[in-house]
Amino acid sequence: MMLQNYDDANIDYQKAKELDPSKYFIFNNHQDDKEIEKKIEEAKQQNQKKMKKDYYKILEIDKNATTEDIKKAYRKLAKKWHPNRNNSGTEEEKKQAEKRFKDINDANIILNDPKKRKIFDCGGDPEDPNGIFSIFK
């Protein structure tokens, strides 16, 4: 719901800005305009954080989990969600199982690599080679 509210508000804001730039400033004050832009950017960043996968949640483990805990959780969930075990349902159920299995594999790869896990824990994207956290690699 929050994602939709952000998207709708941003679209409305951009349309208003394009239609009549003279009314774009709420109180005809450039400072207010900057405040609005700042709030939109903050909302965008919060939105991106919510969209980011939580690998700990995917594997159903705590952030302080050991390598052994990660391996154990991975084996359990991979067995449960493996596409070969979930091929008797509807097409939608099969796709959901495949997506879930892929997410479980991704979580295992990231959390079992100490460098990638550190980048993830710092809020970065361990799969982005050009990201700000690439210096840890």
Same domain? For 19 and 82 the reply is: no
Same domain? For 67 and 125 the reply is: yes
What is the number of domains present in the chain? 2
Residue that terminates a domain, selected from 12, 36, 51: 51
The pLDDT of residue 136 is above 60: no
What pLDDT score was predicted for residue 88?
82
Residue that terminates a domain, selected from 51, 70, 90: 51
| 95-106: average pLDDT | 93
Range of the domain at 7: 2-51
Same domain? For 62 and 129 the reply is: yes
Domain CATH for 119: 1.10.287.110
Mapping DSSP to helix (H, G, I), strand (E, B) and coil, where does residue 122 land?
A: coil
pTM of the model: 0.61
Least Cα distance to 71 among 120, 107, 122, 103 occurs for 107
pLDDT tens-digit map of 26-39: 545 556 667 777 77
Same domain? For 47 and 86 the reply is: no
Same domain? For 129 and 62 the reply is: yes
Same domain? For 44 and 12 the reply is: yes
Alpha-helix runs per DSSP H in the chain: 2-19, 21-24, 30-51, 55-58, 67-81, 91-112, 114-121
Same domain? For 117 and 62 the reply is: yes
